[in-house]
Amino acid sequence: MLKGISPIVSPELLKALCEMGHGDELVIADGNFPGESVGKNAVVIRADGHGTLEILDAVLSLIPLDRYVEKPVAYMEVVKGDSCPEPEIWKAYEKILNKYEPEHHGVEMIERFEFYERAKKAYLIIATGETAIYANILLKKGVVSG
């Protein structure tokens, strides 16, 4: 354990976050996301037993979002025709995003299969045990400045 770092951030996750550079993307995936097949070219880290909210909070406590793009955050949009309302978890994401990035965290909505394609190019996929649907979130890492 380290001081100031959430205990849910495993050494493996901390290493992957450190390896990421400016503009690299990561996906915090819900329990239904096909992380292993989509992440064949990515670092895939299991975070079973943790939800996307606590992982998002822990990750954003360590890395900034990219300030050089309009929308450094993306959600998998609800599939057209799906009867579910806008996911409640998105409101919780907004609170966490405001906590760490109050000035800049534009959110892009991405169609399901486009989200998968973009996730294939991500550096890191964190596979959580999140049970909420449409809880996948993609982040573009920014520059850490002194």
Looking at the annotation, which residues are catalytic?
22, 66, 116
Of the candidates 36, 19, 14, which has an alpha carbon nearest to the alpha carbon of residue 127? 36
- On whether the CB atoms of residues 49 and 131 are closer than 8 A, the answer is no
The type of residue at 68 is: Y
**Which tokens sit at 118?**
């973009």
